[in-house]
Chains A and B, each alone.
Chain A
């Protein structure tokens, strides 16, 4: 399964069991082994996608736009193995923690912006990024992905975790996922999708590329 991991992400034995890990400054007190820090798939949807063997297309060193960076748990791991990483977060409180994660990472750029309004950061985030990673807990997750397609290179990847409960708490997650997939397909070709329930209840992981 190791072949699907980008360079800079490894399975290493930390605290007595094999776990995903990246090299970088610890962010929230996660277990470490030397310069390696454990990447907990239960705290990270992208981590779960790797753990479940999804083919993200990431090889390491990419330019990444990360939407919904929150306190920087996953964004910091991404910045550990990727190239320039733009981390967009809308809420002020978690953004304070994101700042701490970004300080020691010279290629992690924190932005307090609304992912639903890409025009407010298109003057900072460069064109043709290799990957858009999206984990936003808001309604209209497909629309956010479509709005941010403008940043993605033609052969780039959209890696998105769809949270059913953010769309509609009362609807069956499967129905929500079907609707979101359909809307995503107006601008993207879905390459792989898989429920992340082992790690995150009622989440769907999707790998897609621009149409």
Chain B
């Protein structure tokens, strides 16, 4: 295909894959009277035949492009982190159910996923096969959650290097997931990043029932959680600001910029130092 050729130059009307690829990848600066040219070139008998071929090829090309985009790395990450959270939550819920049941037949019964693992590792006692089997499912779900976490930890730095460095891979993936993708996250103002995951509190605030939330999912960031409550709003704002910048660099350039981490660390240090100041002056 040259730059004065239309998409139909890629093949005959039956070669839908080649034509679809040309629709996807082709480029030219100026449009031309493609239907007429296609008929002149013998691609189609008439205009109607040309449009029929274009309809089929554009559907195939666009379906392929949609699938490729939705299979892109950040989409994969979103699914993985959501699946991880679902597996973890379900394992915990079932572990409670198991503890309740097992407590009726085993005086030594413990609680939680750890007990489920223990029970699953034992030889099943006659009459307790169902309890044992449920324990095995809980253990398997917890294993799946662990494997998904390992996948997220491995993949996030490749998809969003700066975000992963600043937030840790799992929080980074959760932010991408809450925003609905890396591009959407890159387009969020930092004030939105600050409250991602706190939507209920935010809407309660907007309806006038509640104070504005200081942080959403970024509460799990050490710099936020590790700051005393009075300064947590400042810390959350600082963290969100840097994460918003990291997401934009990750989406638009993809370069890794280690200085972001140092800048955030310095800012958090300043904020946390306020506690020392007030602590030294008065105290209670």
Contact = CB atoms under 8 A, between A and B. Distances in A.
A126 B59 CA distance: 17
A119 B23 contact: no
Contact of B6 (A109, A110, A123, A151): A123
A67 to B, nearest CB: 14
B31 A127 contact: yes
B5 A123 contact: yes
Given A106-B55, A123-B6, A123-B26, A111 B62 contact: yes
Interface string B1-41: 10001110000000000000011001111111111000000
Interface residues of B, number: 29
B69 interface: yes
Interface of A: 84, 92-93, 95-96, 98-99, 102-103, 106-112, 119-120, 122-128, 150-151
A122 B55 CA distance: 16
A124 B6 contact: yes
A92 B65 contact: yes
Contacts of B27: 119-120, 122-123
A95 B1 CA distance: 26
A127 B33 contact: yes
Given A93-B70, A107-B51, A124-B7, A102 B59 contact: yes
Contact of B22 (A92, A107, A123, A125): A123
A132 B143 CA distance: 54
B234 interface: no
B31 A125 contact: yes
B228 interface: no
6 contacts: A92-B65, A109-B55, A111-B62, A112-B66, A123-B31, A151-B31
A48 to B, nearest CB: 26
Given A112-B62, A119-B27, A119-B29, A106 B70 contact: no
Contacts of B29: 119, 122
B97 interface: no
B90 interface: no
Contacts of B26: 120, 123-124
Given A92-B66, A92-B70, A99-B66, A126 B33 contact: yes
Contact of A124 (B30, B58, B63): B58
B62 A106 contact: no
Contacts of B55: 102, 106-109
A169 B258 CA distance: 32
B31 A106 contact: no
B81 interface: no
A179 B97 CA distance: 63
A47 to B, nearest CB: 24
Contacts of B1: 123
Given A99-B59, A107-B55, A110-B58, A150 B66 contact: no
Given A92-B65, A93-B70, A122-B27, 15 more contacts: A95-B65, A99-B63, A102-B62, A109-B58, A111-B23, A112-B61, A112-B66, A119-B29, A122-B28, A122-B30, A123-B22, A123-B31, A124-B58, A125-B31, A126-B31
A155 to B, nearest CB: 16
B199 interface: no
B255 interface: no
A110 B5 contact: no
Contact of B34 (A110, A111, A119, A126): A126
Given A106-B51, A123-B22, A128-B33, A95 B62 contact: yes
Highest count of chain B CB atoms <10 Å: which of A96, A103, A124: A124
A128 B58 CA distance: 20
B189 to A, nearest CB: 9
A107 B53 CA distance: 10
The 9 A-B residue pairs with the shortest CB-CB distance, nearest first, are: A92-B69, A127-B31, A112-B65, A123-B26, A109-B58, A123-B28, A122-B31, A110-B62, A126-B34
